[in-house]
Structure 1
């Protein structure tokens, strides 16, 4: 889908079935998915785990944004992370020739799709419900976790763009 001539997602209007209070988070996640797709087109597989100037690799950013979405939505449900989620977290950024760019992009886009389905089924009256994060049980709320998932994705997509740009120049 070529989105380069379209306005940013948030300027395209409300998303059907998404509650009003979750529109900004949904827009940000969709923007992230579009940008990830665009920035990784024709990205060389051999550079997936390269860390320019010791910074995080493209592979790390792709794994991390997917993992953060999964973790934040687990916390929003009031659940603790599973052993599988901890294992995924520990392996974020671990180089593997078997992992491909397209696979990581697809996983992120699927996770964004899952997030949008959750948003569609989230009554606005639960958004202020208190939730905790991590083993330290740090305070948050359902909407706080949803917002963090979206803004954290945006932050890492920006870092991914810089890393892709540097690697394509080199």
Structure 2
């Protein structure tokens, strides 16, 4: 990875991505790069440590994948499946994954899926109404796609802090 590159949003427009969804795609690509950067050489024995009782690196990585999956489902106008509810229930469960790779690979795959969805989302559909969750809270296609991007970045930021604290605390 080239650390001398500017952030993704400063690299120009992304081919095939609708203009109004460029910021969401930029943010998702930045999250992907940052997860790779922060988890490279991360000690596996620290994956499920919870410094100061906060969420573990493993949880953030699972949650990043799960949130993307759920937001894409809602953006498509579909309810969550039992498999998605089961995944949500198991976010943060150390018994489900024991390595950084077993968490980063599904995240990368889901990120690629999200970018394909964004690429294939016609701008004319962005304000279509969608609902979220069992309570059917109101949203729109664009609201869900942007939430997927911003929520991903929120957890990447938390992941960065957790990685930094754990590495520093263990003098890696």
Shorter-chain TM band: over 0.9
Q: Does 1:8 align with 2:7?
A: yes
Q: Which runs of 4+ in 1 moved over 4 A?
A: none
Give 1:124's aligned residue.
Answer: 123
TM-score by length of 1: 0.97
**Partner SS, residue 3 of structure 1:** coil
Give 1:64's aligned residue.
Answer: 63
Give 2:151's aligned residue.
Answer: 152
**Structure 2 unaligned regions, length at least 5:** none
Distance in 2, matches of 1:22 and 1:60, equals: 28
**Structure 1 unaligned regions, length at least 5:** none
Aligned positions, number: 169
Give 2:36's aligned residue.
Answer: 37
Tell me, yes or no, if the aligned pair for 1:3 and 1:34 is still in contact at 8 Å: no
Aligned CA-pair RMSD = 0.9
Tell me, yes or no, if the aligned pair for 2:44 and 2:98 is still in contact at 8 Å: no
**Partner SS, residue 2 of structure 2:** coil
Tell me, yes or no, if the aligned pair for 2:90 and 2:96 is still in contact at 8 Å: no
Give 1:25's aligned residue.
Answer: 24
